Structure 1
Amino acid sequence: MKLKFFMDNNLSPRLARGMTNFRQNIMHLRDRFPQNADDEDWLEFAGQNSFFVLTRNTEILKTPAQLDALVKFNVGTFFMGGGNLNICDTIKQLIRNWQKIKEYAANTNRPFAFRVPASGSNFADLRKYLR
């Protein structure tokens, strides 16, 4: 199965392009939607097109309409921990955890939610928030 990932605006489009240059299948929100697109709209798109989401926006788990969209559209989501990381640390975080992200994506039933650590490699299972 070819894994496809979708990054929202909390992560840089340059990061998505950089990963694409290494033959990873990643689309950034701005490749498909306006920058101010509603989260519910791109979550629907991600789910209907079998993308796994990469985001820093943990508000998705606290906002009923967004959480409902994540569950309704069967989205597998990776929340990148460490909201204030600079771009270099974000790149390190993603690269350090990339293989594990792909393993979880390939082997976990959707919908799901995991927090990717800012340091280390222990993912937090956030599925308890998915009612």
Structure 2
Amino acid sequence: MTYYFDNNISPHLARMLCELEVDAIALRDDIPANTPDHEVLMRLANSGRVFVTGDRKMRRDPLTKVVLQDRNVTCLFFAPFWDHLQLWPCAAWMTRHWPKVDGFAAKMKRGECAEIKQRGSCEFRPIT
């Protein structure tokens, strides 16, 4: 499973996960950082990649919402706890909880969205 990390998550974290043998890509390492969200998601349509973001507002943007609903983009949104963490606590969180997140993501179907909670559990969050 390949994880595609949004620009609002440090690319260092994606690279750290790669060193831990997780297939992770930082968005800014693949496409220009100013690419609109809906275009990023269109590139991921039907790809099997899991988009990981801290941008929960994406679920309310009309254009992005349509892409998420209609293009089978699998997405993990960090819960609000993520907004308050600095780089080192984020890295510690990732090394501690990513195996749980990965296990959950492995069971997700294409097009499903979920929220990652502070303790590493995940809950499905339909785009409505």
Partner in structure 1 of residue 50 of structure 2: 52
| Alpha-carbon separation, structure 2, partners of 1:48 and 1:34 | 21
Selected match of 1:10 from 8, 11, 14: 8
Report the 3-state secondary structure (helix = DSSP H, G, I; strand = E; otherwise coil) of the residue aligned with 1:106: helix
The number of aligned residues is: 126
SS at match of 2:76: strand
Output the CA distance in 1 between the equivalents of 2:27 and 2:56.
17
Give the 4+ runs in structure 1 shifted more than 3 A: none
User: In the aligned structure 1, how far is the partner of 2:93 from the partner of 2:43?
Assistant: 26
Give the root-mean-square deviation of aligned CA atoms: 1.6
**TM score, norm. by length of structure 1:** 0.86
Deviation at 1:108, TM superposition (A): 1.9
Instruction: Measure the CA separation in 2 of the matches of 1:14 and 1:75.
Output: 24
Partner of 1:31: 29
Stretches of structure 2 lacking an aligned partner (at least 5 in a row): none
Aligned position for 1:87: 87
Helix, strand or coil: the match of 1:48? coil
Equivalent AA in structure 2 for residue 123 of structure 1:
C
| Contact 1:93 1:117 survives alignment (8 Å) | no
Note closer, same or farther for the CA distance 1:18–1:121 as it changes in structure 2 (3 Å cut): closer
1:35 counterpart SS class:
coil
Q: Which residue matches 1:106?
A: 106
Deviation at 1:113, TM superposition (A): 1.7
Identity %: 22
